[in-house]
Amino acid sequence: MADQKAEATKPIAYDGPERVYPPVIAAAHVWFRAMGVTVTVDGAHHVPRTGPVVLASNHVSYLDFIFAGWGARPSKRLTRFMAKEAVFTHKISGPLMRGMKHIPVDRDAGMGSFREALRALKAGEVVGVFPEATISRSFTVKEIKSGAVRMAMASKAPLVPVAVWGGQRLWTKGRPRRLLQRKVPILVYIGEPLTPQRGDDPEAATVELRRRMQDLLDRAQRDYPDRPAGPDDRWWLPAHLGGTAPTPEEAAALDAAATH
């Protein structure tokens, strides 16, 4: 485990060859085609084609890094996502995550992860962040942390809000994996960038970011082409849309219980 942790925390060579990311993208293409998964991206033009970018996405499934990253593909960008360190020390996911140059987050030493994200942005990379930190069981946008805003301020990078919807039907917290489910539509909605500046109030900018993320998610939920197949299939809809997902208050209680 110590060796795996040391490997996970090695400096990332952003200017090195991309040996892992392109095959992973190709594999995702094959999976989409085989399962009839459709990924519709709206607002891809909001992702700059060059220079540092912070993508801030909501979090409804374990597959969100695939779909949120897909939103940057029309701009021919690869997104380096920040993810919990345990994913990087796993014997299967670890080599893939490191090979794709994603950024491990040690929650006991968060400043190191922040500095690595700034190093990636300085190198002109797209850094993906899930400001909710964990999957939202309610399928609404939870309270978010200010890290994405602070990164954008420190690097002078545009902060691009993203909403993903549909991936929870394939794999989410508290539900069995359904990766072989066919014909699941995925929507990825990308909003106009925010441009927080040094000296701005990061907390106020974070409130605005959350509002924009929720607005994008509301629109994606309205536009989603599928509806539950019956009463037992309403689990993937939020309570305010007639689904049986926990309310935000119930979800917060579940998350609190899970940490004890």
HSE of 127 in the Cβ direction (CA atoms, 13 Å)? 33
The reply to whether 104 falls in a domain is yes
Judge whether 103 lies within some domain.
Answer: yes
- Please give the residue range of the domain that contains residue 162: 2-23+31-222
Helix axes 147-155, 202-223, angle to 10 degrees: 110
Mean pLDDT of 187-191: 98
Percent of all residues in the chain with a pLDDT value above 90, rounded to a whole number: 92
Task: Say yes or no to pLDDT of 126 above 80.
Answer: yes
* Any domain includes 121: yes
Structural domain count of the chain: 1
Q: Is 39 left (phi over 0), alpha (psi -120 to 50) or beta?
A: beta
H/E/C letters for each residue in the chain? CHHHHHHHCCCCCCCCCCCCHHHHHHHHHHHHHHHCCEEEEECHHHCCCCCCEEEEECCCCCCHHHHHHHCCHHHCCCEEEEEEHHHHHCCCHHHHHHHCCCEEECCCCHHHHHHHHHHHHHCCCEEEECCCCCCCCCCCCCCCCCHHHHHHHHHCCCEEEEEEECHHHCCCCCCCCCCCCCCCEEEEEECCCECCCCCCCHHHHHHHHHHHHHHHHHHHHHHCCCCCCCHHHHHHCCHHHCCCCCCHHHHHHHHHHHCC
* Count of beta carbons in the 10 Å neighbourhood of residue 139: 27
Yes or no: say if 144 and 39 are a contact pair by the CB < 8 Å rule. no
| 11 — pLDDT class (breaks 50, 70, 90) | confident
233 within some domain: no
Whether the Cβ atoms of residue 105 and residue 85 lie closer than 8 Å to each other: yes
**Which tokens belong to 15?**
């200017």
Average pLDDT of 249-255?
97
The lowest-confidence range among 36-40, 104-108, 182-186, 220-224 is: 104-108
Query: Quick one: pLDDT at residue 252?
Result: 96
Average pLDDT, the chain: 95
What pLDDT, in 10s, does the model give residues 130-154? Answer: 999 999 999 999 999 999 999 999 9
3-state secondary structure 31-45: HHHHHCCEEEEECHH
Nearest to 238 by CA among 225, 254, 222, 253: 222
CA distance 179 to 184: 10
Q: Does any domain span residue 242?
A: no
What is the tens place of the pLDDT at every residue in 21-43? 999 999 999 999 999 999 999 99
Residue 224: other Cβ atoms inside 10 A: 17
* C-beta neighbour count of 133 within 10 angstroms: 18
pLDDT digits (tens, 9 = 90+) for 52-97: 999 999 999 999 999 999 999 999 999 999 999 999 999 999 999 9
User: Is residue 63 situated within a structural domain?
Assistant: yes
Residue 228 lies in a domain: no
Q: Angle at Cα 174 formed by Cα 139 and Cα 108, nearest 5°?
A: 85
The CATH number linked to 143 is 3.40.1130.10
What pLDDT, on a 0 to 100 scale, did the predictor assign at position 10?
Answer: 72
Domain-embedded: residue 174: yes
- The token pair at 126 is 């797209």
